Amino acid sequence: MALIELRDVAKTYPPRRRGGDPVRAVDGVTLDVNEGEILGVVGYSGAGKSTLARLINALEPVTRGTVTVAGQELTRMSEGELQKVRRGIGMIFQQFNLFHSRTVWGNIAYPLKVAGVPTSQHQARISELLHFVGLADKAHSYPEQLSGGQKQRVGIARALAASPKILLADEATSALDPETTQDVVDLLRRVNRELGVTIVVITHEMEVVKNLAHRVVVMENGTVVESGSTFDVFADPSHQVTQRFVRTVVDDVPSQAVVEELRRRHPGRLVTVAFREGSVSQTEVFGELISRGVGFQLVYGGIEEVQGRTFGNLTIELTGDRVDEAVRALSELVAVREVS
Ligand X SMILES: Nc1ncnc2c1ncn2[C@@H]1O[C@H](COP(=O)(O)OP(=O)(O)OP(=O)(O)O)[C@@H](O)[C@H]1O
Stretch that binds Mg ion, among 47-55, 192-200, 227-235, 278-286 (CB under 5 A): 47-55
> C-alpha angle with apex 203: 207 to 91, nearest 5 degrees?
125
Query: Taking CB within 5 to 8 Å according to partner kind, which of other proteins, ligand X, Mg ion, none is near residue 129?
Result: none
Binding status of residue 111 toward other proteins by CB under 8 A: yes
Residue closer to ligand X by CB (options 29, 108) is 29
Residue 231, exposed/middle/buried by CB under 10 A (0-12, 13-18, 19+)?
buried
Q: Of the candidates 16, 71, 78, 101, which one interacts with other proteins according to CB under 8 A?
A: 101
Binding status of residue 78 toward ligand X by CB under 6 A: no
The DSSP secondary structure of 311-324, one letter per residue, reads EEEEEEEEESTTHH
Binding status of residue 50 toward Mg ion by CB under 5 A: yes
The DSSP secondary structure of 120-162, one letter per residue, reads GGHHHHHHHHHHHHT-GGGTT--GGGS-HHHHHHHHHHHHHTT
Amino acid at 76: R
Residue closer to other proteins by CB (options 113, 276) is 113
Binding status of residue 51 toward ligand X by CB under 6 A: yes
Q: Of the candidates 2, 23, 115, 117, which one interacts with ligand X according to CB under 6 A?
A: 23
| Least distance CB 178 / Mg ion (angstroms) | 20
Residue list 27-86, contact with other proteins (CB under 8 A): 57, 59, 79-80, 83-86
Residue list 126-145, contact with ligand X (CB under 6 A): none
SS3 at position 151? helix
- 116: how many CB neighbours lie within 10 A of its CB? 9
Let me know: does 185 contact 212? Beta carbons within 8 Å.
yes
- Provide CB contacts within 8 A for 64, sequence distance 6+: 8, 9, 10, 28
Residue closer to ligand X by CB (options 93, 275) is 93
| Least distance CB 122 / ligand X (angstroms) | 33
Residue closer to ligand X by CB (options 45, 101) is 45
Residue list 308-337, contact with other proteins (CB under 8 A): none
For residues 124 and 105, give the distance between their C-alpha atoms in angstroms, rounded to a whole number: 12
| Least distance CB 42 / other proteins (angstroms) | 21
For residues 54 and 60, give the distance between their C-alpha atoms in angstroms, rounded to a whole number: 6
Let me know: does 313 contact 237? Beta carbons within 8 Å.
no
Residues that contact other proteins, how many (by CB under 8 A):
29
Residue closer to other proteins by CB (options 22, 295) is 22
